[in-house]
């Protein structure tokens, strides 16, 4: 009897896999991304990266923020200006001037509103109109490879060549998600030059869509922005120069010799379609009720360092 009792106890403590080695384990979004074949990944060209080095923190650790600039079709006038500003080292010596909790981190010229003290902008910067916040739907690939998502701010939302976008049926625009980078501006009709930028560090402020240009997203170093002390002045602006974080340099990727290579998961790939489905319908061990839907900003496009 004792022998059978021990055998029964042993059976109870065997791992579950011993009873069903062939049982299918529900896929997770991260598991799908990890298993995506090399052919499903698209290299990000160095010229499409803005590399911003901040002054080291109190611990002395270097702080590098890598921003992927939005691809062809969207916001290209502003992106062209950003490349010009970076090439002329215009951002060097400027600062992070604002950190508003659950909203944005903003950087640029601290004296930008003072005509006597403002840093002169380079000649030849493009002047964009409010009509440039969106592009004709016919010029995009929205919906290619994946279904459109229901959206509270537009007729639908989806992905276009790696970017989260929304549409009203006739036009398409990039949307404000966590980590999105946009162009600061004054009141309409001003649309900004690219000399003042911000990154979203809170819940997606989608009300800004088509009201400000989205020009990129942070793909590495987000922690150096989101963890900054909140500003002490109105709207999170820093009240004193000592509170600001200096920008040592900002360059496009081809000018940075020690930059890693990056790639993103193609949004027209079968891997991304499966990833999106699992983001909307979690069936792995932790989840009890699959949601059956997902916001476009809750499907972050996977970006990773490429093998060197």
Reported as a single tens digit per residue, the pLDDT across 84-119 is 999 999 999 999 999 999 999 999 999 999 999 999
- Which of 7-11, 165-169, 192-196, 287-291 is the least confident region? 7-11
The answer to whether residues 265 and 302 touch, using CB atoms and an 8 Å cutoff, is yes
pLDDT at 14: 35
Give the HSE-up count for residue 198: Cα atoms under 13 Å, Cβ half-sphere.
26
- Which of 15-29, 85-99, 185-199, 275-289 is the least confident region? 15-29
What pTM, to 2 d.p., does this model score? 0.91
Judged against a pLDDT cut of 50, whether residue 199 lies above it is answered with: yes
Q: Show me where the domains of the chain are located.
A: 46-262
Reported as a single tens digit per residue, the pLDDT across 238-253 is 999 999 999 999 999 9
Q: Which of 20-24, 285-289, 296-300 has the highest mean pLDDT?
A: 296-300
Judged against a pLDDT cut of 70, whether residue 231 lies above it is answered with: yes
Judged against a pLDDT cut of 80, whether residue 50 lies above it is answered with: yes
Conformation bin of residue 285: beta by default, left when phi > 0, alpha when psi is -120 to 50: alpha
Let me know if 201 is exposed, middle or buried by CB neighbors in 10 A (0-12, 13-18, 19+). buried
pLDDT at 308: 77
Cis geometry, peptide bond prior to residue 189 (ω within 30 degrees of 0):
yes
Classify the C-alpha dihedral 17-20-23-26 as positive or negative.
negative
CA distance 217 to 162: 11
**If pLDDT is split at 50, 70 and 90, which confidence band does 72 have?**
confident
Q: Which CATH class is domain 46-262?
A: mainly beta
CA distance 65 to 162: 20
Conformation bin of residue 125: beta by default, left when phi > 0, alpha when psi is -120 to 50: beta
Give the HSE-up count for residue 141: Cα atoms under 13 Å, Cβ half-sphere.
15
Mean pLDDT to the nearest integer, 217-240: 98
Reported as a single tens digit per residue, the pLDDT across 277-296 is 999 999 988 999 999 999 99
Reported as a single tens digit per residue, the pLDDT across 139-185 is 999 989 888 999 999 999 999 999 999 999 999 999 999 999 999 99
pLDDT at 25: 67
pLDDT at 26: 76
């Amino acid at each position: 009897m004792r022998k059978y009792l021990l055998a029964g106890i042993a059976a109870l403590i065997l791992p579950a896999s011993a009873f069903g080695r062939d049982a299918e384990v529900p896929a997770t979004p991260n598991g799908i991304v990890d298993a995506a074949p090399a052919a499903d990944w698209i290299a990000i060209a160095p010229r499409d990266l803005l590399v911003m080095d901040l002054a080291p923190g109190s611990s002395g650790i270097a702080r590098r923020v890598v921003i992927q600039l939005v691809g062809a079709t969207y916001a290209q006038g502003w992106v062209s200006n950003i490349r010009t500003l970076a090439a002329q080292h215009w951002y060097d010596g400027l600062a992070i001037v604002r950190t508003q909790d659950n909203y944005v981190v903003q950087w640029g010229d601290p004296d930008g509103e003072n005509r006597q003290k403002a840093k002169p902008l380079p000649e030849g910067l493009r002047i964009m109109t409010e009509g440039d916040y969106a592009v004709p739907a016919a010029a995009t690939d929205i919906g290619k490879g994946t279904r459109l998502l229901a959206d509270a701010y537009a007729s639908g939302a989806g992905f276009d060549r790696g970017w989260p976008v929304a549409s009203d049926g006739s036009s398409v625009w990039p949307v404000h998600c966590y980590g999105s980078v946009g162009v600061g501006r004054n009141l309409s009709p001003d649309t900004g030059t690219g000399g003042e930028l911000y990154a979203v560090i809170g819940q997606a402020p989608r009300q800004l869509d088509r009201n400000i240009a989205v020009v990129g997203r942070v793909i590495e170093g987000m922690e150096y922005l989101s963890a900054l002390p909140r500003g002490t002045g109105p709207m999170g602006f820093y009240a004193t120069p000592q509170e600001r974080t200096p920008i040592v340099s900002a360059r496009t990727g081809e000018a940075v010799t020690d930059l890693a290579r990056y790639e993103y998961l193609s949004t027209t790939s079968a891997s991304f379609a499966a990833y999106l489905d699992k983001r909307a319908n979690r069936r792995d061990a932790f989840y009890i009720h699959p949601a059956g839907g997902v916001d476009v900003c809750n499907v972050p496009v996977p970006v990773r360092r490429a093998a060197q």
